Chain A
Amino acid sequence: MTGETVLALRGISKRFGAVQALTGIELEVRAGEVVALVGDNGAGKSTLVKTIAGVNQPDEGVIEWEGRPVAIHRPQDAQHLGIATVYQDLALCDNLDVVGNLFLGRELKQFGLVLDEVGMEKRSRQLLDSLSIRIPSVRIPIASLSGGQRQVVAIARALIGSPKVVILDEPTAALGVEQTAQVLDLVERLRDQRLGVILISHNMADVMAVADTVAVLRLGRNNGVFDKRSTNQEQIISAITGATDNAVTRRQARGEGGER
């Protein structure tokens, strides 16, 4: 069962030049809940993720963490709160090895100032083993890994801290069947550990398999939040494509007034 709300977005808007990427987005994530964020290409999913992660600043709106409004100005702020993000473009450093990437920005140290390479290597191997992730060696540069292997390294990196909310932006897009199953298993284990998960995916089967709640974005606006148990795939797809504008959202928009 899902618990209290960890992360809540209230009326988030974001504009890039002439593009209004996000308009009045509402989203809630509870502990032990998997929220699938779906929408067509360009719907604003990645922009929303970057806003939560502190990469972008929202123009309007409030981010609430455990009930209190928080300011997330930098990626560090999000990390300190306990938000771990796996970006769609992975954001790995090609020239560093797997260990270097896993611990980038929070290296283990000896005597306070020297890298504890042995300790980090040991932890990396344990973490990757425990996630059943197979890569040739933790000491080869990221550049020599396949797309799927990079993806799992990026996911493993998100778990190195002690996150309370994990955001996965299209984590299975580059993966094969077995690795996709592994990632979905991982998502379920995160939920069992009472973490909140935001999962972005284009694959409806994946979404229906693991999500508790499905939030639909369309053209930068909310287009319905569905409880997985009381909805079906067709409903969600029609919300994504805009065949049905969600009544609730419409009423909200009208209630705020002044909008088209």
Chain B
Amino acid sequence: MRDLEEKLRILGAAARYDASCSSGGSHRAISGARRGSCRLPGICHSWSDDGRCVSLLKILLTNQCVYDCAYCANRSSREVPRESFTSDEVADLTVNFYRRNYVEGLFLSSSVKRSPDHTMEQLLLTVKKLREEYGFKGYIHVKAIPGSDHDLIREACRYADRISVNIELPTEKSLRLLAPQKSKEDILGPMGRIHSDITANREERRKFVNAPSYAPAGQTTQLIVGATPENDLQIISLAEDLYNKYRLKRIYYSAFIPVSPDPRLPQLASPPLLREHRLYQADWLLRYYGFSSRELLDDCQPNLDEDMDPKSSWALRNLHFFPVEINIADYETLLRVPGIGVKSARRIVHARKFHSLGFEDLQKIGVVLKRAKYFITCRGRYFHRSEMDGDLIREKIRCESPAGFRERSTTGQLSLFEHLSADEPHNKVPSSITGEL
């Protein structure tokens, strides 16, 4: 047990920088739980001291690495204690944590020990054992190791619910600089192949109910923000491409935290958490609100506004789009109003069938009036009789932005981590929401 405790300490701590299993506040159901086969955890079992949801046992199989990526705590040139789990140890921990309801399942990642193929083989062996020998029925998220044989990845997907290849950095140039042993092809290659496998598998399962499943919860990726000079436009356009091309379920953005000094890396006083937060908000707008990257940002304004959420910022640049009349605007138009989220837009569409809505109805429905009021009319009337004045509204919205954001610039803390769900009332407990993963 002592030995196991030591390994868990090292390999748990080593895995914590990977955001893709627990990213602050952003846990939401993928609307993809269509089939019973698609197990999505959707349950947070705890929240760690940094406020991130803990839903899976997130560990590295090993932190012994032959690569030397500059941003990474486990890079080969760094002197840190190295450990490896056996696959039985991982399986045993997983079933025992699961049984006690500590976690929904396993998130298994790894450094590159010996070679990509060797590592992927070990990952595969572990998830296979967990399913076949230990009869584990919970959730499994496994990493695909860039540069490993696709047959190994493909077989791992038979056992895993979700798979991810980390894209790590937004451009090839940055990758070459900071992770010289990984190439763009090493990362995008498997992503593309996994995408075709998934598509083929979905097709097969439509025809044959008993066809084996293949990563039923899809694939995701993660990228590090703030280690390299790319702007938000580059990041958000990349995200848009990845969603369109590979149908990723999620992209996780992880604020860069310097772990070891390196001349290639920027000196940061604190991790760019606010930027990370704004990127999540923008990402949300891409996926659920019908925005495109070019609407949110352009070459004149390539970075997201730190002072307000990207939707308000878009609205202020597009005042001609407003006001929106609540009682007639269609769903897509409602979604563009700051302060109206997916849920409240849906509620408006339902509720107005019975009678026309006034401002106090909106409040009850869960619209954040203090933001929405500048952009809407109810029965033809404004909330205040004042004119729409961009500068004035901008000032007001800025002042209203939650205290947590302001505070952060001094303390590095972000106390409000709502990723756009701030637009919506608080009761959105993931019916499997927190779900996603």
A binds B: no
> Which of B's residues lie within 8 Å of A, judged by CB?
none
